[in-house]
């Protein structure tokens, strides 16, 4: 059997978070009554004209800067002509030959390590409306609320080599667009959706295989599964002597398979040409500088800083920069607890807190334990007031019942016993009551040490300072 290499490129539609549409003043809010947010321009009434939304252009510039792409000083809106009932004008205003962002890169991290994915372009365009084929007494309904919603279509080079990489890219892009606040990233509402181009070729072959495009994947899991089953389909097809046809396919999550939607032969000629209603989009250097000045520290820069300055590992730094909310939480925690070791902070955020958030299906921004509260707890851990074990218990209480760490420590008497005299008395008592174990330990059975620690923790209800406990115990047992 031959070995196959998978080649993947993604086209992602990120809905830009402007309040109004890309070429009209109508609202972009999701979930309104059908056709209640479509004005004359969105309806494509005779005589109406588009006017570009400054905010949408600014968001495209933010993106271009964040990926290190070239911001075209002059880009062109073009018409993509085709008939469809949810496309009111009979053409979509997009960008074709001269997109607003050209080039750029995005770095992803997978089990294989770090990889830089090249971006081809990112261009501005308007979304179409929605056809509703159910519940209309045998007719189709059209909702044009979405028509004219601003999109940034972000296109990669065919640089990805596995479903894992495709998902890592989609996650990194999702994190980035939310980080720089150009897109809310809501995948259920369709604010972030991916088309995945997949082909396979024998390892070592220079030419790409024939690709299929899987349209409109709106979850990371679907991206992974769609790529996996499409790769399997293509390999099986070729190995059975068939050839892959260039076509657009749909992924059916119910049956976990991709199905053909339309083939290249039915591909329409979109008759692209520059939109005569819109002068070329001019972006001068001053505007780019102004936008650059307003950009937050980017996830890649922060990740590097966490690794270099705070000494965090790749994994922790990656998690803490995967989303703007996680990053903001960690920054707030660090600011409130500057004396606590950064690694300890990272462990807590990525450990206890992340687990609790996961269980409750909450985002960092909605955490029941705020960064300030967690800082209060970690300060007590750092100054030895409580042990790690007790701290976790306190965290659980804070999570389930609320409150500040100090109040819980006082109310529940959880203060760690760090008085070496008191602790020594307790330990002495245990050692005296356990001659057999003492003999075993002294005879070389180091493992018995754990027995004494357990007894001591039991006797102190876990409040013994573990470091002090270990030291005292070793001295006592040494005789």
Partner 1 sequence: MSLDSLIDGTLRGLAGALARREVKAAEVAGAFLDRIAAANPSLNCFITVDRERCLAEAASADRWLDAQHARLVGHPAAPDGPDAVSGRLAGVPIAHKDIFCAEGWRTTAGSRMLENFVAPYDAQVITRFRDAGAVHLGRANMDEFAMGSSNENSYFGPVRNPWDQTRVPGGSSGGSAAAVAAGLAPAATGTDTGGSIRQPAAWCGVSGLKPTYGRVSRYGMIAFASSLDQAGAFARCADDLALLLDVMAGHDVRDATSVARQDPGFASLLGQPLRGLRVGVPRDWFGPGLASGIGDAVQVALAELQRQGCTLVDIDLPASAHAIPAYYVIAPAEASSNLSRFDGVRFGHRAADYRNLDELYERSRAEGFGPEVKRRILIGSYVLSHGYYDAYYLQAQKVRRLIAEDFTRAFAQCDLIAGPVTPTSAFTLGACNDDPVQMYLEDMYTIPVNLAGLPGMSVPAGFDQGLPVGLQLIGPWWQEARLLQVAHAYQQHTDWHQFRPVGVPGVAA
Give the residues across from 36 on adjacent strands.
Answer: none
Q: Are 214 and 198 in contact (CB under 8 A)?
A: yes
Q: At residue 69, what are phi and psi to the nearest 5 degrees?
A: -85, 175
Are 349 and 373 in contact, with CB atoms under 8 Å apart? no
Binding test (CB under 8 A) with partner 1, winner from 85, 260, 313, 388: 85
Choose the stretch contacting partner 1; rule: CB under 8 A; options: 49-57, 114-122, 167-175, 292-300: 49-57
* Least Å from the CB of residue 54 to partner 1: 12
Look at residues 70, 127, 119 and name the one whose alpha carbon lies nearest to residue 98.
70
CB 74 within 8 A of CB 53: no
Enumerate the β-bridge partners of residue 107: 116
User: Do 248 and 264 form a contact (C-beta atoms < 8 A)?
Assistant: no
Q: How many helices (H) and strands (E) does the chain have?
A: 17, 17
Which residue of 29, 32, 51, 425 would you call a contact of partner 1, by CB under 8 A?
Answer: 51
CA dihedral 337, 340, 346, 348 (to 10 degrees): -80
Distance in Å, CB of 48 to partner 1, minimum: 7
Residues in contact with partner 1, total (CB under 8 A)?
A: 28
- Least separation in angstroms between residue 257's CB and partner 1 is 27
Bridge-partner residues for 132, per DSSP? 141
Smaller CB distance to partner 1: residue 44 or 185?
44
Q: Please, which of residues 52-81 interact with partner 1 by CB under 8 A?
A: 52, 79, 81
96 contacts partner 1 (rule: CB under 8 A): no
Alpha-carbon gap, residue 53 to 93, rounded angstroms: 13
Q: Which is nearer to partner 1, 85 or 202 (CB)?
A: 85
User: Looking at the DSSP assignment, which residues form a beta bridge with residue 78?
Assistant: 94, 274
The H-assigned helical ranges of 295-387 are: 299-309, 314-320, 324-336, 342-348, 354-360, 371-382
Q: How far is the CB of 327 from partner 1 (least distance, A)?
A: 38
Shortest spacing between CB 281 and partner 1, in angstroms = 10
Question: What's the min distance (Å) between Cβ of 277 and partner 1?
Answer: 5
Asked whether position 90 contacts partner 1 by CB under 8 A, the answer is yes
- The angle subtended at Cα 21 by Cα 51 and Cα 150, nearest 5°, is 100
> Could you tell me which stretch among 47-55, 161-169, 221-229, 376-384 binds partner 1 (CB under 8 A)?
47-55
Binding mask 263-292 for partner 1 (x = CB under 8 A): ------x-xxx--xxxx-------------
Smallest gap from Cβ 77 to partner 1, in A, equals 10
CB-neighbour burial class of residue 210 (10 A; exposed 0-12, middle 13-18, buried 19+): middle
* Residue 55, CB-side half-sphere exposure with 13 Å CA sphere: 17
User: Sheet of 91-95: strands edge to edge?
Assistant: 91-95, 77-81, 273-274
- 92 vs 373, which CB is nearer to partner 1? 92
Cβ distance to partner 1 smaller for residue 269 or 446: 269
Residues in contact with partner 1, shown as a per-residue x/- string from 437 to 466 under the rule CB under 8 A: ------------------------------
- Taking only Cα atoms into account, the Rg of the chain, rounded to an integer number of angstroms, comes to 29
- Residue (84 or 315) nearer to partner 1, CB: 84
Q: Which is nearer to partner 1, 85 or 294 (CB)?
A: 85
Indicate the residue among 4 and 273 with the shorter CB distance to partner 1. 273
Residue with smaller CB distance to partner 1, 47 or 479: 47
Nearer to partner 1, 41 or 226 (CB): 41
Among 32, 40, 304, 335, binds partner 1 (CB under 8 A): 40
Strands 113-126 and 130-132: unpaired
Calpha distance 225→231 (Å, rounded):
10
Q: Output the CA torsion 249→272→150→183 (10° steps).
A: 50
Residue from 142, 172, 200, 340 touching partner 1 (CB under 8 A): that is: 142
Nearer to partner 1 by Cβ, of 51 and 360: the residue is 51
Q: Which stretch binds partner 1 (CB under 8 A): 45-53, 58-66, 183-191, 336-344?
A: 45-53
Q: Which of 88, 148, 318, 376 binds partner 1 (CB under 8 A)?
A: 88
User: Which listed residue (91, 306, 348, 395) binds partner 1 by CB under 8 A?
Assistant: 91
Q: Should residue 295 be labelled a site residue for partner 1 when binding is judged by CB under 8 A?
A: no
C-alpha 35/C-alpha 244 separation (Å) is 41
Which residues would be at the binding site for partner 1 (CB under 8 A)?
40, 43-52, 79, 81, 83, 85, 88-91, 142, 269, 271-273, 276-279
């Amino acid at each position: 059997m031959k070995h196959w290499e998978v080649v993947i490129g993604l086209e992602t539609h990120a809905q830009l978070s402007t309040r109004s549409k890309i070429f009209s003043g109508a609202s972009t809010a999701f979930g309104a009554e059908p056709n209640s947010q479509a004005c004359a321009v969105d309806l494509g009434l005779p005589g109406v004209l588009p006017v570009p939304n400054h905010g949408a252009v600014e968001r495209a510039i933010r993106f271009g800067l964040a990926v290190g792409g070239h911001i075209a000083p002059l880009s062109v809106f073009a018409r993509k002509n085709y008939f469809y009932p949810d496309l009111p004008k009979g053409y979509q205003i997009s960008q074709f030959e001269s997109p607003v962002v050209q080039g750029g890169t995005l770095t992803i991290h997978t089990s294989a390590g770090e990889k830089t994915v090249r971006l081809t372009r990112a261009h501005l365009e308007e979304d179409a409306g929605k056809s509703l084929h159910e519940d209309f007494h045998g007719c189709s309904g059209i909702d044009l609320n979405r028509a004219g919603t601003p999109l940034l279509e972000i296109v990669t080079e065919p640089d990805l080599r596995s479903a894992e990489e495709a998902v890592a890219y989609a996650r990194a892009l999702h994190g980035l667009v939310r980080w720089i606040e150009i897109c809310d990233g809501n995948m259920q509402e369709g604010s972030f959706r991916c088309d995945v181009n997949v082909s396979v070729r024998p390892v070592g072959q220079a030419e790409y295989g024939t690709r299929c495009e899987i349209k409109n994947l709106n979850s990371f899991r679907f991206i992974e599964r769609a790529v996996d089953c499409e790769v399997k389909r293509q390999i099986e097809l070729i190995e059975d002597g068939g050839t892959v046809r260039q076509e657009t396919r749909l992924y059916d999550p119910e049956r976990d398979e991709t199905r053909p939607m339309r083939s290249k032969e039915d591909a329409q000629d979109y008759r692209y040409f520059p939109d005569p209603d819109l002068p070329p989009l001019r972006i001068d250097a001053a505007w780019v500088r102004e936008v650059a000045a307003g950009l937050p520290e980017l996830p890649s820069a922060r990740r590097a800083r966490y690794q270099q300055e705070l000494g965090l590992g790749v994994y922790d730094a990656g998690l803490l920069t995967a989303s703007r909310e996680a990053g903001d939480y960690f920054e707030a925690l660090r600011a409130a607890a500057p004396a606590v070791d950064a690694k300890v902070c990272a462990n807590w955020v990525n450990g206890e807190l992340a687990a609790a958030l996961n269980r409750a299906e909450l985002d960092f921004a909605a955490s029941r334990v705020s960064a300030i509260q967690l800082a209060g707890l970690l300060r007590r851990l750092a100054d030895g007031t409580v042990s790690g074990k007790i701290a976790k218990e306190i965290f659980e209480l804070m999570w389930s019942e609320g409150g500040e760490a100090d109040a819980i420590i006082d109310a529940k008497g959880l203060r760690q016993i760090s008085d070496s005299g008191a602790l020594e008395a307790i330990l002495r008592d245990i050692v005296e009551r356990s001659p057999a174990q003492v003999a075993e330990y002294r005879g070389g059975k180091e493992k018995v040490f754990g027995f004494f620690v357990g007894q001591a923790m039991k006797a102190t209800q876990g409040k013994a300072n573990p470091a002090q406990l270990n030291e005292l115990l070793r001295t006592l047992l040494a005789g």
